[in-house]
Amino acid sequence: MLRCILFSIFALILLTACENPANTQPDKPGTPIVTYHVAKDLDQFLGQSNPKSCVRCYLANANLTGFDLTYSNLILADLSGADLSGANLSDADLASANLAGVNLSGTNLIGINLSDAVLSGFDLSKADLSELDLVRSDLSEANLSNAILTGANLNRANLSSADLSRAKLHFTRLSGANLTGANLAMANLSRANLYGADLTGVDPCRGANYLVQTCQGQTWQGSIC
């Protein structure tokens, strides 16, 4: 009798284990990683084949120098202080990513999505940011002097106190952008869309000829265009 009872218990345990097997399969390439440990996230991220995915992961101060991150999904990732110099980020999605203190020198940014990204205080002088999605991005106090922003989407972006001197902003979308105190000296704003942009504190005598054109005849008084 006891033997039968023990056998029944063993059979039940075995059946339960078969119905709920442990997941021993490795993550498939492109599977989003959602953890908060930089070493673990970095190893898993770089271990994936392209396109890589690391949604909302923690990569602060990570060394990503020279890596091919083409088409990578880094939405909401914390990349603060990371070294991305020489990396290929073409067509990567960094929407809402934290990029504070990131080194982007020599980085390929063609086609990258930087909407809602934090780029405050960045040195992007002479950078080619043409056609990029920078909607609602934080570029306050950023150095964008001589930058190429032709056709870029900067609608509702924060460009307060940014240096945009000699920047190429023709055909750039700046609707609703915050340009309070920005330096637009000699910037090319021909055919840019400045509808609803806040130009408070911007010197109307520096690059004013472009501002008059883009405001479509409205009276510009250094406030709202």
- Structure confidence at residue 177 (pLDDT): 95
Residue 152: closest CA among 121, 186, 180, 117 = 117
Fold entry, domain 25-113: Pectate Lyase C-like (2.160.20)
Tokens of 192: 């840019």
Terminus-to-terminus CA distance in the chain, angstroms?
91
**pLDDT tens sequence across 204-220:** 555 544 554 445 443 34
Tokens of 43: 């190893």
Q: Of 2-6, 160-164, 183-187, which range is least confident?
A: 2-6
Q: Which helix (H) or strand (E) holds 67?
A: none
Largest Cα–Cα separation, the chain: 100
Q: Label residue 7 exposed, middle or buried (CB < 10 Å: 0-12, 13-18, 19+).
A: exposed
Architecture of domain 118-225: 3 Solenoid (2.160)
pTM more than 0.75: no
Query: What is the domain partition of the chain in residue ranges?
Result: 25-113, 118-225
Confidence of residue 22 (pLDDT cuts 50, 70, 90): very low
d(CA 71, CA 123): 24
Q: Which residue has the higher pLDDT, 29 or 46?
A: 46
Nearest 5°: the CA angle 215, 221, 223 is: 85
d(CA 69, CA 97): 15
Arithmetic mean of pLDDT over the chain = 79
d(CA 77, CA 42): 11
Q: Please, how many CA atoms are within 13 Å of residue 204, restricted to the half-sphere of its CB?
A: 12
